[in-house]
Amino acid sequence: MKLHEYISKRVFAKYGVTIPKGEVATTPSEAKKIAEKLGGRVVVKSQVLVGGRGKAGGIHLAESPAEATEHAFNILGMEIKGLPVRKVLIDEAADIKSEIYLGITNDRAARKPVMMASAAGGIDIEEVAHKTPEKIIKVHIDPLMGLQNYQARDLAAKIDLPRELWRGFGKTACGLWKAYVESDATLAEINPLVITAENRLLAVDGKMVLDDNALFRHPDLAEMRDLDLEAEAEIEAREHGLSYIKLDGNIGCMVNGAGLAMTTMDIIKLFGGSPANFLDIGGGANAEKVAVALRIILSDPSVKAVLFNIFGGITRCDLVAQGILDALEEVETDVPMVVRLVGTNAKEGRQLLANADMETAETLADAAQKAVAAA
């Protein structure tokens, strides 16, 4: 789950990172009040869950509350990379001398978190990483020991940070590390961390991605999920405990088990087709779950055929078959379907489906070929 800039920065601030004073507005008049309260120059920042807002025109400096109101009005009407802007952050403007990058993510290959810093921070960090990777300094963090002071100092030295800022940098780096660990994040990033005209460090931008599997430990953050910005089908799937990811093919897949779902997608491709989604209905799938899953699959207009691939272990194939039939009572559709059931009560399940004139298959290869032909 991605967190908005303003939420990420508040989390960082809890751990001792210095952030600008600011508040969120959803209307131009709210923006005006906040700008008045902050007095003087502010920056008006679109809150959308994509990077590159600055380049897209979603961030503007304002010299007065009147100007802030105007920017808020314009930005609140924008779409950035397809996402509507519904909130703006009004922050006290910083006088920026230079921009640093500071971030933490998991390095899977090293099996450790890695902290990265660069003196070339700001809006083009991806380009820096691509063209001059040596400008990004990395240090791996032992997950049990945590970030050590000497490691933060080492980073500060290697990015040529002026000596008098090392202490502040250490505080920021340790704060970011604590925020990362204690929020179960997979990414925590400050870009830019700026050196201000007064020679202080200030986190001007913030980004966090949390591990969805750990969200139950952070109910306060979980409830900030921005539903506006997620596909409706994915929200419904999550609410029913289904893992659903939309893809761009035309064969809808309903499968129990993630590994089996991957296999199903592969075999569809092997026979020249293309899956419209990944969908794992999990174990113990009952009729209701099957109906929800089917509705989700069919809500995608590009689906031209549906392939059910169910392995009955704990799940009983006859219950799944009944679920499919029940679901079809509710969901009006003429999309062709192929069902492959194997395992517990498969025979009973196939019989139920045959009675209802549904196409069944015994092997996965057979099922996939039929689905590809139907699509």
Q: How far is the CB of 205 from Mn ion (least distance, A)?
A: 4
Binding segment (CB under 6 A) for ligand GDP, from list 7-15, 25-33, 50-58, 298-306? 50-58
Q: How far apart are alpha carbons 100 and 65 in whole angstroms?
A: 29
Q: How far is the CB of 191 from ligand GDP (least distance, A)?
A: 6
Joined tokens for residue 238: 């999550």
Q: Which is nearer to ligand GDP, 205 or 318 (CB)?
A: 205
**Nearer Cβ to ligand GDP, position 61 or 66?**
61
Residue 51 or residue 343: which is nearer to Mn ion going by CB?
51
Q: Which of 123, 209, 215, 331 binds ligand GDP (CB under 6 A)?
A: 123
Q: Is 189 a catalytic residue?
A: yes
133-142: long-range contacts (C-beta < 8 A, 24 or more apart)?
Answer: 136/101, 138/114, 139/114, 139/115, 140/107, 140/110, 140/112, 140/113, 140/114, 140/115, 141/104, 141/112, 141/113, 141/114, 141/115, 141/177, 142/112
315 binds Mn ion (CB under 5 A): no
The distance of Cα 347 from the centroid of its chain, to the nearest Å, equals 41
Which of 94, 210, 305, 372 touches ligand GDP by CB under 6 A? Answer: 94
332: left (phi over 0), alpha (psi -120 to 50) or beta: beta
3-state secondary structure of 195: strand
191 binds Mn ion (CB under 5 A): yes
* By CB under 6 A, residue 99 contacts ligand GDP: yes
Three-class secondary structure of residue 302 per DSSP: coil
Q: Does 189 bind Mn ion (CB under 5 A)?
A: no
Q: Angle 105-108-114 (CA atoms, 0-180°, nearest 5)?
A: 35
Binding mask 190-229 for ligand GDP (x = CB under 6 A): -xx-----------xx------------------------
- Identify the residue among 122, 170, 249, 349 touching ligand GDP (CB under 6 A): 122
Q: Is residue 22 near ligand GDP by the rule CB under 6 A? A: no
Residue with tokens 């025979």: 347
Is residue 39 classed exposed, middle or buried when 0-12, 13-18 and 19+ CB atoms within 10 A define those classes?
Answer: exposed
Residue 323 CA to its chain's centroid (Å) = 31
**Residue 75 touching ligand GDP (CB under 6 A):** no
**Using an 8 Å Cβ cutoff, are 78 and 58 in contact?**
yes
Residue 205 interacts with Mn ion (CB under 5 A): yes or no: yes
Catalytic residue flag (residue 101):
yes
Selected from 18, 51, 260, 351, the binder of ligand GDP by CB under 6 A is 51
The answer to whether 59 contacts ligand GDP (rule: CB under 6 A) is yes
Binding of residue 103 to ligand GDP (CB under 6 A) = no
Sort 117 into a burial class: Cβ within 10 Å, 0-12 / 13-18 / 19+.
buried
Q: Which residue is nearest to Mn ion (CB)?
A: 205
Instruction: Cite the active site residues.
Output: 101, 189
* Binding positions for ligand GDP, rule: CB under 6 A: 43, 45, 51-54, 59, 61, 91, 93-94, 96, 99, 122-123, 191-192, 204-205
* Binding positions for Mn ion, rule: CB under 5 A: 191, 205
